[in-house]
Amino acid sequence: MTHPLIKVCGMTRLQQVEQLAALGVDYAGFIFYPASPRYAEGKIGPVALKQLTGIKKVGVFVNATAETIRETVAAYGLDAVQLHGDETREFISALNIDAQIIKVFRLKGDEAVAELTGPFEKEVDAFLFDTKAKEYGGTGRKFDWSALRGVGLGKPWFLSGGIGPEDVADLKLFFAEQEVHALDVNSRFETAPGIKDVELIEKFIQELRRG
């Protein structure tokens, strides 16, 4: 069984990003959606983040303009963008950014996933599957992973949606039968919105990779 990469999203403190990089976390996510309580702008300076190395920096956007995305990628030195809204294939095709593109699909668990992702395969670098909800962004709730069992997709994908410290055993079982590129965690590892419990994240990663 190969271990998936780890992404911690909703970062709002540069020091904690540096701590995650030191732990070997692969991706840090920064939310550039003003309605989110984890909105990164004004909390992490673009120059400081741009200079930070050792972890891939992912900007999360919800129906932002192409201009906003391009400017943010350049200002913060983002390695990837995560499109969490209703962005179309045509919009993504015209983005023209020097960063990887991750397209989010929000699921209940009974969807024909390959039919949803198929039209986007040529336009994006990876997919991310999160829990379906009325609101955009994280819900802190899991969806039924059944729709992803045995699914063959043309791109690597991230598993997201309410994953917490108590899910290690279920995750190990899922990873044993399904190749997942990366695991995306957020609110279940916080002491307050945007403030991570780094020790809890470290313990979670250790348990996940044990055995």
Residue range of the domain that includes 198 = 5-208
What is the number of other CB atoms lying within 10 angstroms of the CB of residue 32? 21
CATH code where residue 81 lies: 3.20.20.70
d(C-alpha 2, C-alpha 183), whole Å: 12
Per residue in 70-126, pLDDT (tens digit) is: 999 999 999 999 999 999 999 999 999 999 999 999 998 778 898 999 999 999 999
Q: Beta strand pairing status for 157-159 and 126-131?
A: parallel
Instruction: Count the domains in the chain.
Output: 1
d(C-alpha 11, C-alpha 158), whole Å: 17
Confidence of residue 1 (pLDDT cuts 50, 70, 90): low
Confidence of residue 137 (pLDDT cuts 50, 70, 90): low
d(C-alpha 192, C-alpha 130), whole Å: 21
Confidence of residue 134 (pLDDT cuts 50, 70, 90): low
